[in-house]
Structure 1
Amino acid sequence: MKKTPYKRLVPAAMIGVGTSVAPLVLLMFGIIQFNIIRLVGESEVTAMFGICAGISSFALVVLSPLGGFIADRTYVKFGRRRFWILLGSVGGCICMYFFANATSIFMLACSWIFAQFFYGMVTNSSYSIVPEQVDQEKFGRVSGFIGASAPAFVMLGSMIVMGYFSAVSVQDKILMIAFGQLVGGVIATLLIIEPASVKPEVEVSNKDEVKGKNYFYPSFKLYPEYTWALLTKLLINFTNAGLSMTTLFYIARFAMDEKSIFELNAFTSMGIALMVGSGLLGGFLSDKVRKQKPFVIMAAMITGVCMIAFAFSHNITLVIISNFIFNLGFGMYNAVDNALVNRILPSKDNYTKDISIMNVTTQLASSLVNFVAPVIIAFGAATFGDDGYTFFFLLLAGFSILSAVVVFPIPEVGKPLKKDLMASLESGATEAISSESPQQTDANSMTKAHS
């Protein structure tokens, strides 16, 4: 198989992931809100934004894995990963054009959904080249680099679009972001070397395994490690999604005004640097010691402790420190957990689909948390007589701890996965049968006939 040289593959994956994640994050920095204001006015923006965000999140829970399923079954001479990185970039750019020039909320919501879908195809295809082309002993460091790319491109895009071109209209900002991603997608496509994608010939020696591979969701019976990895990612994303309530938390507990909150958010955003650094360090160390689970468990526990600090903090300084430490833990978690996921993916025929199911946990967690958070906070306030955030953050801490717990059933680096054990047992049985003497075979046949 043709492979991309390591020094080309890492930049390609970083550019592919970074430039496709950054536009969706940058839109949330007020761009989408002002684009909605352009259509409905300031009085309706909160309700309309909530409706659009909720619909798009739930739509992507279905569309993203479906897109991954299609990508894995795209057979082209160009190479399926390169094909979807390029097509996703072009499709995302077109959708962003319609998003910028939407004349109705329906048009805005549809273009937003499909922009996220196409950029998600770029992201997942860029992730898929890692398990396909990188040696397993380098999964950690590569995942660290890729994990650092998204916040790095978000910071760069924020400085350029929100800073240097701050006076530019919202529509022009959207088009600038789309063009920047398109350039990044083309560069990633040119850097990647990939063989032609051809339809594989399926061997039916193991009917259960073939059937398991054809499930839209990998069979728990054959690939239990995949479900455990999905659960740990979903649970940690519940915790991370809960941080979207911090602005209201600052108002409720510390009575902060708008100006103070923006200044605080600007200051704590520097924690992204810690997220990048801890991701790179965690990925490198996990490869060095050939251990992944201790890093994932430790990182999840760190985020849980930070949520407990949030719950009981009545000092803004403690909140700021906890925020920085959370970024430290979450960065390490993302890098090493992505390496763990690459190692336990069930089948090379379904990499993009299986990775997209993993990544959709972000949208699913965000949708559910944003939907139920007001109810949980109200329940906490009524039950404990405070602002409600003590109970809310303790619940988020519980999700982090559970995320660490469900890592335990996953085999460590060097230990066989269940599919490997089954293959080994079947191979041993086949060898034993083939090594039998003719007399033994005849005896066995007679015994079976007698039975």
Structure 2
Amino acid sequence: MLVSAIPPVTPRELPAALAEPVKRVGALWVALISLVNLALWMGYIGPLQVLLPRQIEAASPVGKETVLAWVTGIGAAVAMVANPLAGALSDRTTSRFGRRHPWTLAGALLGALGMAFLAFQGSVWGVVVGWCLVQAGLNALQASLTAGVPDHVPVNQRGAVSGWIGVPQTLGVVIAVVLVTMVATSIQSGYLLIAALIPLFALPFVLTTPDPRLPAEYRPPFDLRGFLRGFWISPRAHPDFAWAWLTRFLMQLGNALALLYLLYFLTDAVHYEQLFPGQRAEDGLLVLILIYTAAVVLTTVAFGAVSDRLGRRKALVTASGVISAVPMVLMAVWQDWPVVMGGAVLMGVGYGIYLSVDNALVTQVLPAATGRAKDLGVINIANSGPQVISPVIAGPIVAGLGGYPVLYLTAGLLSLLGAVFVRRIRTVP
């Protein structure tokens, strides 16, 4: 068990790195952390939506769906370890540059190196290794950025700030797809372009924003067994944290199932290229992403601010789950292009509400300030875990257990379950 050497203190005596923030953050801080988040999500989405599917299709055209599932699943398994581990290590970092910034920069550089490595891979195993490097780097980056909100933002501003930070997550989808389909002329140049942008977008935040140093005397002595046990957060001792984790896991699993085979869905079920001769399925994917992005941007900041004013997060998370389930059911019943476009609107509205409100809700159920990044890393397993599980569920369904209709009905049911279970959280209204 990890024995703390921290002397007993009153909250007023806590160092800035551990104190609960009370001063509202300014527009520049929000803009710069949003810029890094833009780079982060470009790094995630560009490969997932376009580059990896096409790279795998070239390396293994027979059984491409199964191979893509394995590659993304292995990468997500790396993410499940890297995110909480990097978060826990950043919680203990006493660098004069701060607790989080060293991990932000290191994660950005490792993610960029992984992208550059991927650019030159022609085998499935080379793609697996490269994608694992990318996941390790980007998840270290994400762990440090996620902790920035409870580190710096007071509770009554977290909905609005989470909304603004959520906008780049959606814009990153659009920009990444535009870059790798229209600006870059090949898979290789697509990877290299994103590799260059990730550290470039991270540097302004690292170099110009404060990151309070953790005094060495407030770092507990290291004990491997206690360090590893710290990743287990008892549902009995912290039930609201457990319900928040389960809610996010179900919502993200439903979302992962809906998106994993979207490019193949447009090709094989909607028959986009037959409907629109001369166009590629990637063109249809970009249209859907633009529609989805517009819906998210119009809702995420507004509903984050609304949740701050009302102080009621759970009802909005419930609403987001119900709204998100509707387009999944529609896509299960009708594989028509107009229906898919309408589904993109509804999915964007639902996810926009969820994105800002759930992030704010989660920061209010963290067990302790001393382990913010580690605890958020455990929460983020609920983001990456579905990426591991979704291929295991989706692959057999698409291959022979009902196809895309069953896949999207399953995704809708999971979103509804997440909407129900959030009601079990007691300490957040």
TM normalised by structure 2 equals: 0.83
2:188 equivalent to 1:171: yes
Larger radius of gyration: 1
Q: 1:412 to 1:291 in 2, by over 3 A?
A: farther
CA-CA distance at 1:17 after TM superposition: 1.7
1:384-421 Cα deviation digits (max 9, x unpaired): xxxx44443332222111101111121354x6xxxxxx
1:201-229 Cα deviation digits (max 9, x unpaired): 489xxxxxxx9996212222221111100
2:119 equivalent to 1:100: yes
Superposition RMSD in Å: 3.0
CA-CA distance at 1:124 after TM superposition: 1.9
Q: 1:305 to 1:47 in 2, by over 3 A?
A: closer
Q: Conserved in 2, the CA contact under 8 Å of 1:299 and 1:333?
A: yes
Unaligned runs of at least 5 residues, structure 1:
204-210, 382-387, 416-451
Determine the structure 2 residue equivalent to 1:215. 230
Determine the structure 2 residue equivalent to 1:277. 298
* Corresponding residue to 2:287 among 267, 274, 298: 267
Size of the alignment, in residue pairs? 398
Cα distance in 2, alignment partners of residues 46 and 395 from structure 1: 18
* Corresponding residue to 2:332 among 284, 300, 311: 311
State the AA in 2 paired with 1:94. L
Determine the structure 2 residue equivalent to 1:226. 241
1:158-199 Cα deviation digits (max 9, x unpaired): 434532x333x4333322211111111111102320221234
Determine the structure 2 residue equivalent to 1:410. 425
Q: 1:262 to 1:92 in 2, by over 3 A?
A: closer
Q: Conserved in 2, the CA contact under 8 Å of 1:4 and 1:193?
A: no
State the AA in 2 paired with 1:166. A
CA-CA distance at 1:235 after TM superposition: 0.6
Q: Conserved in 1, the CA contact under 8 Å of 2:333 and 2:405?
A: yes
CA-CA distance at 1:33 after TM superposition: 4.5
* Corresponding residue to 1:329 among 337, 346, 350: 350
Q: 1:171 to 1:377 in 2, by over 3 A?
A: closer
Determine the structure 1 residue equivalent to 2:12. none
CA-CA distance at 1:57 after TM superposition: 1.9
Q: 1:43 to 1:142 in 2, by over 3 A?
A: same
* Corresponding residue to 2:407 among 392, 405, 419: 392
2:148 equivalent to 1:129: yes
2:422 equivalent to 1:401: no
Determine the structure 1 residue equivalent to 2:78. 59
Q: 1:280 to 1:229 in 2, by over 3 A?
A: same
CA-CA distance at 1:238 after TM superposition: 1.6
2:123 equivalent to 1:86: no
Determine the structure 2 residue equivalent to 1:430. none
Cα distance in 2, alignment partners of residues 229 and 379 from structure 1: 34
Q: 1:150 to 1:410 in 2, by over 3 A?
A: same
Q: Conserved in 2, the CA contact under 8 Å of 1:64 and 1:360?
A: yes
TM normalised by structure 1 equals: 0.79
Q: Conserved in 2, the CA contact under 8 Å of 1:69 and 1:350?
A: yes
2:318 equivalent to 1:300: no
The percentage of aligned residue pairs carrying the same residue is: 24
Q: Conserved in 2, the CA contact under 8 Å of 1:292 and 1:412?
A: no
